[in-house]
Structure 1
Amino acid sequence: MSIINQSRLSDLIHQKEGPLTRELLLSPGGFGLGKVPEKNTPDAMTQMVCGFCGTGCNLNIHLKDGEGVCVTPTTEYPVNLGMACPKGWEALSVLKSPDRAISPLIKKSHNHWEPVDWDTALNLFTRKFKGIQQQYGTDSVAFLSTGQMVTEEMAFLGALAKFGMGMLHGDGNTRQCMASAVTAYKQSFGFDAPPFTYQDLEESDVLVFIGANPCIAHPIMWERVMRNSHEPEIVVVDPRKTETAMQATQHLQIYPKSDLTLFYGIAHILIQRGHLAEEFIQNHTEGFEEFAAHIKDYTIERVTNETGLSRTAIEHFAEIIHSGKRVSFWWTMGVNQSYQGVRTAQSLINLALMTGNIGRTGTGPNSITGQCNAMGSRLFSNTTNLLGGHDFLNAEHRSKVAETLSIPVDRIPTQNSWPYHKIIEGILAGKIKGLWVICTNPAHSWINQRQVRDILDRLDFLVVQDMYHTTETARHANLVLPAAAWGEKEGTFINAERRISRVKRVTRAPGQALSDFSIFKLIAQYWGCADMFSQWKSPEDVFQMMKQLTKGQPCDISGIKDYAAIEEQGGIQWPFPESDTKSLEQQRRLFEDGQFYHQNGRAKMIFSEPTKMPEAPNEQYPFILLTGRGTASQWHTQTRTKNSDVLRKLYPARIYVELNPQDASELSIKPNDWIFVESQRGRIKAQAFITQSVQPGQIFIPMHYEQTNQLTDAVFDPYSSQPSYKCCAVRVLKN
């Protein structure tokens, strides 16, 4: 594959683009990516946040001749305190993969793409998408974005697509991991506001982990738990005996998706026994009386019957919550990725509210974020809300955003986008004909994988913008745009505890790859809306606009001066308004004053009856499939981790299925046998791993392998539209 000479590329774009692109190409470091550090001594170093998970660890990037060559964890950073997981240690190595996209690629025939220059690629992009909109309407083109780009790029994409290109529909892959937590917080608190700081992991005397396995999924957060000097009770609620459950003082190995019943039952016990923070309930919540009436039916007999737990275990759990002085509830995908994830998250919020475990050190209903910048996506991507946590349906919000960005208010949509699954359904229905996929991989990660791959092939035009040209989604693309990765561009991430941290350019992107920021800037020029974005000259310029957008919002960051201030303070948690007298504190939690974001200042206690499992096991498909993290060295679709020689050695190369010994014996399956797992949607072959970690009648397959989502069922939470990856009916057959 040949690539175009860089000077020739500059000539082509100069001829086409004029002054705007010349400014872009001649900016420090070239292509608007940010300046690579000057040549230096072998021990020179800079610091920035890791680009994998939402923990937000800081890394020392050691430089040689201006290029990042290795990393070590930053000891003084308030997130990781000198620790890093295997992915963090290997963060630079995945940038050097031969799978990197180094030139725009146009599909010429089945499984054949040819390299072209940027001028050809962007002319094609513009011609195809504009042609589709002219023929079918502006809402016939949509985008799917990510929780892994820097926040400034997310804001640029959302503004470009919605205000500049006229797209109505666009969503992000945070819909797959955080949507239920987001919706729960918005409904209960009035804003998407995780209240905690990581220091709470060290200060709680009771930590409850629900559908969360931080030992594997967020190992640095688990290290923070291990630093807890209060000899805490650690309760794990999970149908599988995870690595975290093995370290717990109590493991509640519930029947899958019975957690909502369990937490209603615990609330009922606490009310019966008068174990309540009555003053807090009276002064800071609403809906408690209705909630108490609703859960009267959740007797201990009902809870034991539906969860499979003993009466003793349930009552002991309730007593632990009551006796704890600082109780924190932590959940992640085991709650969120469910057909009733929002209500389950709110059942935890309700427990925190009714016991007064919120707004104090070591407390809180705390959602653990998946992706490195899911919080940035939630606030600034223009997918689930208008820029800066605003509302597309609110005329005052639209006017504020329009005035801040100096754009006509009528360029801002007055309705919300379809969520992710509706966009996919829209393709199937022929309503969406063009799709732009940026830094995500739905052909691997989306639920009921075979169906979504078929749907992607029905598009008139699919554009994939990614750092690798080999992703499962790129194999379906008509056009591939090569993007720079973490470490090759500038910007910020926002982690799970709301901490804004820096991303820097410490190495050059390969070939003709450009930062997403630069690609968006070029697309604006080719599309003809560049004037709208004349102030969007660099990521830091956009950051200054983000500050203005958040003024008066719960996520106000107007008090942050600039990028340098973020680095000097070890990252900064929002909110950080100009008037904040506590702005220099490294650990800041929300709701210390008991004031929430609803108009009356109260938190709402929200509830509803549990829903039946959409696809329960039956005679033909007698097993329940559970999915989740495999190892600490794997990440999502393995797009990056499989490109590290070190990380590949740390996890099984072949897909495997965890099977209880009792079931294995009945099926005459031995360890390492190749077996088939079938659902109504697909059949996969996997290696048997026989273990007591799963209960009889249940199996577990890690989410990272390409085949896993051939089995999962396209079922969604009715409030958050998040897919329910964690349970469906399957059968197991001997090979």
Structure 2
Amino acid sequence: MSIETTSAKPGSLTQSAAIEDRKVLPQLIQARTGKMTRELLLQPGSHGLGMTHSGLTPDATTTAVCGYCSTGCGLRIHLREDEAIGLTPETNYPVNLGMACPKGWEALRVLDSDDRATHPLIKNPNGGFSKATWDDALRLFTDRFKSIQAEHGKQSVAFLSTGQIPSEEMAFLGALAKFGMGMVHGDGNTRQCMATAVTAYKESFGFDAPPYTYDDFEQSDCMVFVGANPCIGHPILWERVLRNKNNPEIIVLDPRRTETAMAASQHLQLSPKSDLALLYAITGEIIRRGYVDDSFVQASTTGFEQLCEHVAKFDTESVAKISGVSEEQIIKAAEAIGTGNAVSLWWTMGVNQSYEGTRTAQAIINIALITGNIGRPGTGANSITGQCNAMGSRLWSNTTNLIGHHRFEDADDRAKVACELDIDIESIPTETGWSYDRIMEGIQNDEIKGLWVIATNPAHSWIHQSNAREILDKLDFLVVQDMYSSTETARHADLVLPAAAWGEKEGTFINSERRYSLLKKVAKAPGEALSDFNIFRAVAHYWGVAEMFSQWTDPEAAFRIMQRLSEDKPSDITGIDGYEHLDDCGGIQWPWTSADAKQWAKPYQQRRLFSDSVFHHDDGKAKLIIDDITPMPEPTCDDYPTMLLTGRGAVSQWHTQTRTSKSPVLRKLYPNEPYIEIHPDDARSIGVQNGEQVRVTSRRGSLIANAMVVPTVKPKQAFMPMHYEATNQLTLSHFDPHSRQPSYKNSAVRIEAV
């Protein structure tokens, strides 16, 4: 995939911008309308044009990464006079190999919407919004936040960021907020999807290190999916599974008979939240039947004796009663895993969004480790990420760790960051800030008075929604920075800052397999909307710290800073030779060090971690971690007899639907009204038929939904997609104690006919 590229860097503010005055805004706005990056194929016209808009004939194409899920597909963007007029899947991209899901096909269409944020908006005394200039908006931003900090302390202002903006913007935001503006607390919405996997990997491997590459989907002879439905959540990855020529045994652990479970050779339809006990029982059977890779365990792990002692308590008979999975099924699954030559184990939100998710993820990791299924093709304990750049958030956002996977608490790490950024070490906090749930609690307790929300929608997505909205309304000042002015959170804002979207700016996303890929500017942002990067530059000027961030001139300059910060870390990317190198290679997986670059002419595309069986703890060994089972925080009862599960609904839906709902094509591919899946026995007991309305009530709220009567959920269980605004009116606010990730998937409800 060799392509030539111009050196134009649109949407960036050069260092010549006056720092001493406030002339920066006209330059930023002028920059955003400049010539867009354009790449030409060496052999133009060698690919089919596919779907285009406006009937225009493309005169060039370029490849850019999709901005929806963490799969990170390559999309071929068709250009006319430097602007995108259509797209098709990129056939040569190593991730998707010419495939795209409906969301990817519609990625350009959702940019054109009547509710795009096009100008800064300030809430007026009547509760409505009035258009404002950028100068007025940034003066208000600065004055209000500074006055709050002056009255209540630096820690009284916080930010909530996202997994949906480029890594360079995340890095800039985190550095600006914590080093420049003096914020102590900030977290991202990746706390809602990936915190459990991050914590599990750090504790088990010594670093947040997903070990796999997508080629493993095609190399396994046994695949285990725990709380994962890639057929819907990550359809292109499921297509990779279907390309597997080994006729793999597919084992699914899920309370629902999902689309993935229907395709499995074994479906262990366990009771909700019994997965940890079930995994311990499977581990015990693997040990008892002699399927342990003794040499690997001895050389590369610690804690095996304690693991054996612990899982011995989880015999198949007792766990069968707890989980609803028969002893025969438990033994059969253990045998398939134990006898497989290349076993991969995969999990997503069904594990992560749990009050004991970290230990469940580590139970999966334990199985991979004791059977030696790590570091080889087709193996691994593999967390599939949710958002397009959740991995970027994990590495660069200054939320769960100091930028670049350093530690706030480590003086040497702070010194390194201060040196590379050329800032005073005293400006770097000495401890990690509060997690998302603690920030929300801090607002509730009047500890936090000001909040800056960037590219996320907590008024829809945060657990126990009605309480979350009450909390947001307690703030003295709420700033929402988003591409749409109509989100549920924007309605609560005092100030809305209009941001450019995917396709209207540049940077890098990092996908689930650790691949850095390019996002490109192929369209103009509407009105006066700016890229988040340029908004952060403007904030730095108005806050008075522009000189501190003078190196951050444009996204690629930020990428160079990130490279320097990554040096000598397990995620080292010092060997990447800039954006053009990423483009030429179809993305590059971390790590790719300067030493790697000297040894190999070009990065090979399918690279796994731990092929040398050396992990990132001081002794080079992985830890086998165990824990006691904890009771469900809200079991069912006579008043609330049904356990509500939540998760992804349809391939064409995405998160809070702020983008997918803008596409008329995608809206036709899923029910537009909330629905709830219930078992036929439950439908008969309450007297409803398929399609009729029901009232769903929890201890926190009540809603109306359409009944979808299906045999894929068990009696006294129900399922609602998370994408509908109403769903989180029902969910219980409780969290994994290690990762602080919300547990969205177990709430007791009552379902009645309307």
Q: Shared fold (TM-score greater than 0.5)?
A: yes
Which amino acid is 1:506 matched to?
Answer: V
* CA deviation after TM superposition for structure 1 residue 27, in Å: 4.5
CA–CA distance in structure 2, aligned partners of residues 473 and 326 of structure 1: 46
Q: Secondary structure at the match of 1:459?
A: coil
Q: Which residue of 1 aligns with 2:348?
A: 332
Counterpart Cα distance in 2 of 1:698 and 1:247:
22
**What does 1:455-604 align with in structure 2 at a 5 Å threshold?**
455-580=471-596, 581=599, 584-604=603-623
Deviation by residue 1:410-447 (Cα, 9 ceiling, x = unmatched): 10000111000000000000000000000000000000
Alignment of 1:64-83 (within 5 A): 64-83=80-99
8 Å CA contact 1:36, 1:508 repeated in 2: no
Q: Does 1:387 align with 2:403?
A: yes
* Higher deviation after alignment, 581-590 or 352-361: 581-590
1:157 paired with 2:176, answer no
For residues 656 and 729 of structure 1, what CA distance do their matches in structure 2 show?
17
Residue in 2 that maps onto 1:124:
140
* Cα distance in 1 for residues equivalent to 2:74 and 2:58: 21
Using the TM superposition, give the Cα deviation of residue 199 of structure 1 relative to its aligned residue in structure 2, in angstroms: 0.1
Equivalent position of 2:366 in the other structure: 350
What is the rounded CA distance, in whole Å, between the counterparts of 1:730 and 1:599 in structure 2? 47
2:123 counterpart residue number: 107
2:532 partner letter: D
Match of 2:276 in 1: 260
Counterpart in the other structure of 2:213: 197
Match of 1:673 among 678, 692, 695: 692
Q: Report the secondary structure of 1:417's partner residue.
A: coil
Deviation at 1:111, TM superposition (A): 4.2
In structure 2, how many angstroms separate the alpha carbons of the residues matched to 1:657 and 1:18? Answer: 53
| Alpha-carbon contact 1:36-1:507 (below 8 Å) kept | no
Counterpart CA distance in 2 for 1:27 and 1:400 is 33
Does the CA-based 8 Å contact 1:170-1:383 persist in structure 2? yes
Query: Match of 2:679?
Result: 660
- How far is the alpha carbon of 1:42 from its aligned partner? 2.4
Query: What code does the residue aligned with 1:412 have?
Result: I
1:610 to 2:632 alignment: no
Q: CA deviation at 1:20?
A: 5.4
Residues 19 and 541 of structure 2 are in contact (CA less than 8 Å); yes or no, is this contact kept in structure 1?
no
Q: Which residue of 2 aligns with 1:364?
A: 380
Question: What residue identity is the alignment partner of 1:634?
Answer: Q
The aligned counterpart of 2:748 is 729
Q: Is the 8 A contact 2:678 2:707 kept in 1?
A: yes
Q: Matched residue of 1:492: which SS? A: strand
Does the 8 Å contact 2:74/2:95 carry over to 1?
yes
TM-score, structure 2 length as denominator? 0.94
1:633-648 correspondence to structure 2 within 5 Å: 633-648=652-667
Match of 2:711 in 1: 692
Q: Secondary structure at the match of 1:451?
A: helix
* Deviation, structure 1 residue 28: 7.7
CA distance in 2 between partners of 1:51 and 1:208 (Å): 27
Question: 2:51: which partner in 1?
Answer: none
Tell whether 2:427 aligns with 1:408: no
Distance 1:688 1:28, change over 3 A: closer
SS of structure 2 residue aligned to 1:202: helix
SS at match of 2:259: coil
Distance 1:436 1:18, change over 3 A: closer
Shift of 1:17: 3.7
- Structure 1 residues 205 and 290: alpha-carbon distance in aligned structure 2, compared to 1, 3 A threshold: same
Equivalence for 2:43: none
Between 1:598-607 and 1:574-583, the stretch displaced more is 574-583
Deviations 1:283-313 (A, max 9, x none): 0000111111111111111110111011111
Native 8 Å contact 2:36 2:82 kept in 1: no
Q: Is 1:702 matched up with 2:718?
A: no
Q: Which deviations, in whole Å up to 9, do the C-alpha atoms of 1:218-272 show, x marking residues without a partner? A: 0000000000000000111000000110111111100001010011001111111
Distance 2:452 2:668 in 1: 34
Q: Secondary structure at the match of 2:505?
A: strand
AA aligned to 1:89 is: W
Conserved in 2, the CA contact under 8 Å of 1:37 and 1:67? no
Which range moved further: 665-674 or 348-357? 665-674
Q: Which residue of 1 aligns with 2:240?
A: 224
> In structure 1, how many angstroms separate the alpha carbons of the residues matched to 2:188 and 2:233?
21
Contact 1:441/1:473 (CA < 8 Å) preserved in 2? yes
Aligned partner of residue 465 in structure 1, secondary structure: strand
State whether residues 16 and 119 of structure 1, in contact with CA within 8 Å, keep that contact through their aligned partners in structure 2.
no
1:649 aligns with 2:668: yes
Deviations along 1:617-650, whole A, 9 cap, x unmatched?
0111000000001000000000000011111111
Amino acid at match of 1:644: S
Aligned counterparts of 2:662 and 2:108: Cα–Cα separation in 1: 11
Distance across 2 between alignment mates of 1:264 and 1:110: 58
1:716 matches 2:735 = yes
Q: Deviations over 1:198-217 (max 9, x none)?
A: 00000000010110000100
Q: How does 1:160-175 map to 2 (within 5 A)?
A: 160-175=176-191
Partner in structure 2 of residue 63 of structure 1:
79
> In structure 2, how many angstroms separate the alpha carbons of the residues matched to 1:478 and 1:516?
18
What's the TM-score once normalised by structure 1's chain length?
0.96
2: CA distance between counterparts of 1:272 and 1:41?
Answer: 65
Percent of residue pairs identical: 59
Measured on the aligned residues, the alpha-carbon RMSD in Å equals 1.7
Cα distance in 2 for residues equivalent to 1:198 and 1:37: 27
Using the TM superposition, name which of 14-23 and 702-711 deviates more. Answer: 14-23
Paired residue for 1:276, among 284, 292, 308?
Answer: 292
